[in-house]
């Protein structure tokens, strides 16, 4: 089976709550590999590009504020079916309504705005997002 890459973010809430190690441990235990990793604070341009598909939605302004509001950890995760595998580890977007216990959001999240992690949702998104966060890869 072909290896994939996906873009994972431990969002500023995950970093401030001390959940970086927890998220990375789950990625590694699943059998996925870390291909790149950086702690950084996203500027507005990167945040707006990353969340371009949500421009115009009611929550877009708050989302950009939140994601630029503190340091986050950007990770390129690699492995067989990495895109779906990480989305499964993350759980659904709403940590209470959609994410089951045992997932990152289901175990640690309470509000949709503060759902701790991002994972690319398709090969096209993964390519696009990896270029935004790690242009040299």
Known catalytic residues are: 118
- Measured CA to CA, the distance from residue 43 to residue 88 in angstroms comes to 28
Residue 6 annotated as binding site: no
Q: Total residues contacting ligand DAT (rule CB under 6 A)? A: 9
70-129 positions binding Mg ion, by CB under 5 A:
121
Work out whether 115 is an interface residue with ligand DAT (CB under 6 A).
yes
Work out whether 113 is an interface residue with ligand DAT (CB under 6 A).
yes
Residue 114 annotated as binding site: no
Residues in a beta bridge with 64? none
Tokens of 32: 């996925």
Q: What is the DSSP letter of 114?
A: B
Among residues 84, 121, 86, 82, the alpha carbon closest in space to that of 2 is found at 82
Task: Return residues touching ligand DAT (CB under 6 A).
Answer: 54, 59, 63, 93, 112-113, 115, 118, 121
């Amino acid at each position: 089976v072909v290896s994939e890459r996906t873009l994972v973010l431990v969002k500023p809430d995950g970093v401030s709550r001390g959940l970086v190690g927890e998220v990375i441990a789950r990625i590694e235990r699943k059998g996925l590999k870390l291909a790149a990793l950086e702690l950084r604070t996203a500027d507005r341009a990167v945040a707006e590009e990353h969340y371009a598909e949500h421009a115009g939605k009611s929550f877009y302004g708050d989302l950009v504020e939140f994601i630029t509001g503190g340091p986050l950890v950007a990770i390129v995760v690699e492995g067989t079916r990495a895109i779906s595998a990480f989305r499964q580890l993350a759980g659904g977007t709403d940590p209470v309504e959609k994410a089951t216990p045992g997932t990152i959001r289901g175990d640690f999240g309470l509000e949709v705005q503060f759902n701790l992690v991002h994972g690319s949702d398709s090969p096209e998104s993964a390519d696009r997002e990896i270029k935004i966060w790690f242009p040299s890869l």
